[in-house]
Structure 1
Amino acid sequence: MMKNQLLMHPWVIGDCAKQDRIDAEVVSKLQRFNARRKLRAAAIASVLSSKVALRTKRLRSLLGTHDLSSEELDNLRQHFARM
Protein backbone atom coordinates (compact mmCIF):
# COMPACT_ATOMS: atom_id res chain seq x y z
CA MET A 1 0.00 0.00 0.00
CA MET A 2 1.11 3.51 -0.65
CA LYS A 3 1.39 6.12 2.08
CA ASN A 4 -1.82 7.92 1.02
CA GLN A 5 -3.75 4.66 1.00
CA LEU A 6 -2.50 3.86 4.47
CA LEU A 7 -3.54 7.26 5.76
CA MET A 8 -7.03 6.76 4.36
CA HIS A 9 -7.46 3.33 5.98
CA PRO A 10 -10.58 3.12 8.22
CA TRP A 11 -8.43 2.24 11.27
CA VAL A 12 -6.41 5.42 10.84
CA ILE A 13 -9.42 7.64 10.10
CA GLY A 14 -11.37 6.15 12.97
CA ASP A 15 -14.38 4.87 11.02
CA CYS A 16 -13.94 1.38 12.50
CA ALA A 17 -13.90 2.57 16.12
CA LYS A 18 -16.78 1.43 18.28
CA GLN A 19 -19.00 4.18 19.58
CA ASP A 20 -19.83 2.11 22.69
CA ARG A 21 -18.35 3.07 26.02
CA ILE A 22 -15.48 0.96 27.30
CA ASP A 23 -16.49 -1.52 29.98
CA ALA A 24 -15.85 -0.24 33.53
CA GLU A 25 -13.74 -3.30 34.34
CA VAL A 26 -11.46 -2.61 31.36
CA VAL A 27 -11.10 1.04 32.38
CA SER A 28 -10.27 -0.04 35.92
CA LYS A 29 -7.59 -2.47 34.71
CA LEU A 30 -6.06 0.21 32.47
CA GLN A 31 -5.97 2.65 35.38
CA ARG A 32 -4.28 0.09 37.65
CA PHE A 33 -1.78 -0.72 34.91
CA ASN A 34 -0.94 2.97 34.45
CA ALA A 35 -0.67 3.45 38.22
CA ARG A 36 1.80 0.53 38.49
CA ARG A 37 3.76 1.84 35.50
CA LYS A 38 4.01 5.33 37.04
CA LEU A 39 4.98 3.92 40.45
CA ARG A 40 7.69 1.77 38.85
CA ALA A 41 9.04 4.77 36.93
CA ALA A 42 9.06 6.90 40.10
CA ALA A 43 10.87 4.16 42.03
CA ILE A 44 13.52 3.82 39.35
CA ALA A 45 13.99 7.60 39.18
CA SER A 46 14.33 7.73 42.97
CA VAL A 47 16.95 4.99 43.05
CA LEU A 48 18.96 6.60 40.28
CA SER A 49 18.85 10.06 41.85
CA SER A 50 19.92 8.68 45.24
CA LYS A 51 22.82 6.84 43.59
CA VAL A 52 23.96 10.05 41.92
CA ALA A 53 23.60 11.97 45.20
CA LEU A 54 25.61 9.38 47.10
CA ARG A 55 28.32 9.32 44.47
CA THR A 56 28.48 13.11 44.45
CA LYS A 57 28.68 13.21 48.25
CA ARG A 58 31.38 10.54 48.27
CA LEU A 59 33.32 12.37 45.56
CA ARG A 60 33.17 15.62 47.50
CA SER A 61 34.42 13.88 50.64
CA LEU A 62 37.28 12.28 48.71
CA LEU A 63 38.31 15.49 47.00
CA GLY A 64 37.86 17.92 49.85
CA THR A 65 39.43 21.19 48.74
CA HIS A 66 41.76 19.52 46.24
CA ASP A 67 41.93 21.36 42.91
CA LEU A 68 41.53 19.05 39.93
CA SER A 69 43.72 19.12 36.86
CA SER A 70 42.08 19.42 33.44
CA GLU A 71 42.84 15.74 32.82
CA GLU A 72 41.12 14.74 36.06
CA LEU A 73 38.11 16.89 35.16
CA ASP A 74 37.88 15.24 31.74
CA ASN A 75 38.06 11.83 33.41
CA LEU A 76 35.20 12.76 35.72
CA ARG A 77 33.11 14.06 32.82
CA GLN A 78 33.57 10.78 30.97
CA HIS A 79 32.58 8.72 34.03
CA PHE A 80 29.51 10.87 34.74
CA ALA A 81 28.47 10.66 31.09
CA ARG A 82 28.41 6.86 31.39
CA MET A 83 26.02 7.06 34.32
Structure 2
Amino acid sequence: MLIFLVKSLSNQQQQHPKKPLVVLQRAINKKVSVRLKNEAEYRGKMSNVDSYMNLILEDAEEFNGSTHLANYGKVVIRGNNVLFIRLEDEL
Protein backbone atom coordinates (compact mmCIF):
# COMPACT_ATOMS: atom_id res chain seq x y z
CA MET A 1 0.00 0.00 0.00
CA LEU A 2 1.45 3.34 -1.02
CA ILE A 3 0.35 6.50 0.74
CA PHE A 4 0.98 10.05 -0.41
CA LEU A 5 0.39 13.02 1.81
CA VAL A 6 -1.07 15.90 -0.20
CA LYS A 7 -1.27 19.37 1.31
CA SER A 8 -4.80 20.71 1.30
CA LEU A 9 -5.47 23.62 -1.01
CA SER A 10 -7.17 26.85 -0.08
CA ASN A 11 -10.93 27.17 -0.72
CA GLN A 12 -10.27 29.26 -3.84
CA GLN A 13 -8.22 26.52 -5.53
CA GLN A 14 -9.78 23.45 -7.03
CA GLN A 15 -8.14 20.18 -5.99
CA HIS A 16 -7.27 17.82 -8.87
CA PRO A 17 -6.64 14.12 -8.31
CA LYS A 18 -2.95 13.20 -8.51
CA LYS A 19 -1.61 9.94 -9.84
CA PRO A 20 1.08 8.56 -7.50
CA LEU A 21 3.42 7.45 -10.29
CA VAL A 22 3.28 10.87 -11.96
CA VAL A 23 4.04 12.55 -8.61
CA LEU A 24 7.04 10.25 -8.12
CA GLN A 25 8.34 10.82 -11.65
CA ARG A 26 8.23 14.59 -11.08
CA ALA A 27 10.20 14.11 -7.84
CA ILE A 28 13.23 12.52 -9.54
CA ASN A 29 16.48 14.12 -8.29
CA LYS A 30 14.74 15.34 -5.13
CA LYS A 31 15.19 14.09 -1.59
CA VAL A 32 12.71 11.52 -0.33
CA SER A 33 12.12 9.45 2.77
CA VAL A 34 10.94 5.87 2.16
CA ARG A 35 9.41 3.80 4.97
CA LEU A 36 9.36 0.05 4.39
CA LYS A 37 6.87 -2.48 5.72
CA ASN A 38 9.53 -3.77 8.14
CA GLU A 39 9.68 -0.23 9.65
CA ALA A 40 13.14 0.54 8.24
CA GLU A 41 13.45 3.99 6.69
CA TYR A 42 15.74 5.18 3.91
CA ARG A 43 16.44 8.81 3.04
CA GLY A 44 18.24 10.03 -0.02
CA LYS A 45 17.97 11.53 -3.49
CA MET A 46 15.63 9.55 -5.73
CA SER A 47 17.44 9.06 -9.03
CA ASN A 48 14.89 6.80 -10.73
CA VAL A 49 11.46 5.16 -10.39
CA ASP A 50 9.67 2.66 -12.61
CA SER A 51 6.07 1.64 -13.22
CA TYR A 52 6.24 -0.86 -10.31
CA MET A 53 7.41 2.00 -8.07
CA ASN A 54 10.81 0.41 -7.58
CA LEU A 55 13.13 3.21 -6.48
CA ILE A 56 16.82 4.00 -6.76
CA LEU A 57 18.16 6.29 -4.03
CA GLU A 58 21.58 7.91 -4.12
CA ASP A 59 23.49 9.04 -1.01
CA ALA A 60 21.03 6.90 0.94
CA GLU A 61 20.94 6.70 4.73
CA GLU A 62 19.21 3.97 6.72
CA PHE A 63 17.26 4.76 9.88
CA ASN A 64 15.32 2.78 12.43
CA GLY A 65 13.08 5.34 14.09
CA SER A 66 15.38 8.26 14.84
CA THR A 67 18.48 6.04 15.08
CA HIS A 68 20.91 6.40 12.16
CA LEU A 69 22.12 2.92 11.17
CA ALA A 70 24.20 3.28 8.01
CA ASN A 71 25.22 5.35 4.99
CA TYR A 72 25.03 3.88 1.49
CA GLY A 73 26.02 5.18 -1.92
CA LYS A 74 23.18 3.74 -3.98
CA VAL A 75 20.16 1.70 -2.83
CA VAL A 76 17.52 -0.12 -4.88
CA ILE A 77 14.17 -0.48 -3.11
CA ARG A 78 11.59 -2.89 -4.43
CA GLY A 79 8.18 -1.23 -4.75
CA ASN A 80 6.19 -3.98 -3.02
CA ASN A 81 8.20 -3.43 0.21
CA VAL A 82 7.26 0.26 0.44
CA LEU A 83 4.79 1.42 3.08
CA PHE A 84 4.97 5.13 2.17
CA ILE A 85 7.11 7.75 0.47
CA ARG A 86 7.52 11.28 1.77
CA LEU A 87 8.77 13.95 -0.66
CA GLU A 88 11.45 16.53 0.21
CA ASP A 89 9.13 19.50 0.72
CA GLU A 90 7.19 17.48 3.32
CA LEU A 91 10.24 16.42 5.34
TM-score tier after normalising by the smaller chain length: under 0.3
Higher helix share: 1
Ranked by relative contact order (alpha carbons within 8 Å, sequence separation 6 or more), the top structure is 2
In the superposition, the TM-score normalised over structure 1's length comes to 0.22
Higher strand share: 2
